[in-house]
A = this chain, B = another copy of it.
Amino acid sequence: MISYNPKDWIRFIFDLHRSDTLVRLLPLLTGTGLYAAGIVWCLQHWVADPANSPLRQLSVLHGLLGFAISILVVFRTNTAYDRWWEGRRQWGALVNNSRNFAIKLNAMLPGDDDRNRTFFKQLLPRFAHELMIHLQSEETRYSLDEQPHPEIPDFDRRKHVPNQVASLLASRLAALHRQGTLSDTQLLLLNGELSSLLDICGACERIKNTPIPYSYSAFIKKFIFFYVLSLPVGYGLGLQYWIVPVTLFVLYVLASLELIAEEIEDPFGKDTNDLPMGRLVDTIRRNVQETLA
């Protein structure tokens, strides 16, 4: 995710970031520009009576459908934003639950129970870390920046790792309960936070694995494509070569909205606009370790 000052308009308008839609659409815009110019050339040479050609009124199509395509594409972008924001909310909930888990364990475990404190101090942030790796489909192992804990095994990477971490947490709490370190009530108190871990994991998987329905997505792209390609036909007689920048601007706007939607509807990658999962994992680690120190 790019951190930015939303009030710095100059930078927004003139800075062409590598991931800016203007840059990414450049090939498409170039091709469409040539196409539009070609259509105008054809119209100028091949249409017999340009002043009275019914082609001049073809633009009615774009007027009628201009509403539909605008509202469709803006809704599309907003739906994608809702998914992005839900992803962010889930990771925010992970931060909250990790903190609450930690302050409750801190209050419950005896102050000198180093073994358990270290165990949870390592395992709680580990869940967030493994979830990040899981969502980014990476194969890298957990880079141990601290001494490995004897009771935290190497997880089986062919299976579902966050599940294993959560299961180890649950088993540990049950063991502490059996030993009498945690009472019945204390187990109940920790239940909400424990269950939330896999709820968050599942919600992120849902967002990642379920793009908007195929036929919806295909329809929007087909609609934009035909709409833009028919623009020079409808307006070429009137606007002459001025239709080229008009077509490009309309294409730029519609395709940008669709591109942005595609980019933000899966917020768990490593693109410019994706969620700062790494930073959130660090926050969780720091907060949990401060609390359980």
Contacts and interface: CB of A to CB of B under 8 A. Distances in A.
A148 interface: no
B240 A54 contact: yes
A272 B214 contact: yes
A1 B206 CA distance: 14
Chain A binding surface SS class: helix
Of listed A20, A21, A96, A230, residue having the most chain B CB within 10 A: A96
B81 A217 contact: no
B160 A222 contact: no
Contacts of A242: 54-55, 57-58
Contacts of A79: 78, 81
Interface in A82-96: 84, 88-89, 92-93, 95-96
Copies of this chain per assembly: 5
Nearest to A206: B92
A34 interface: no
User: How extensive is the interface on chain A, given as a class?
Assistant: 35 or more
B88 A210 contact: yes
A281 interface: no
A184 B164 CA distance: 26
B187 A184 contact: no
Contacts of A246: 58, 60-61, 64
A9 B104 CA distance: 50
A6 interface: yes
Interface stretch (A119-127, A128-136, A197-205): A197-205
A112 to B, nearest CB: 14
B163 A99 contact: yes
Given A63-B66, A171-B107, A205 B265 contact: no
Contacts of A199: 93, 96, 100
A250 interface: yes
B107 A57 contact: no
Given A188-B188, A249-B61, A249-B65, A77 B216 contact: yes
Interface string A157-199: 0011001101100110111000000011101110111110011
Interface in A250-274: 250, 253-254, 256-257, 260, 262-265, 272-273
B205 A92 contact: yes
A75 interface: yes
A7 interface: yes
Given A57-B239, A81-B216, 10 more contacts: A1-B214, A20-B215, A60-B239, A68-B257, A77-B216, A100-B166, A106-B167, A159-B290, A216-B260, A230-B249
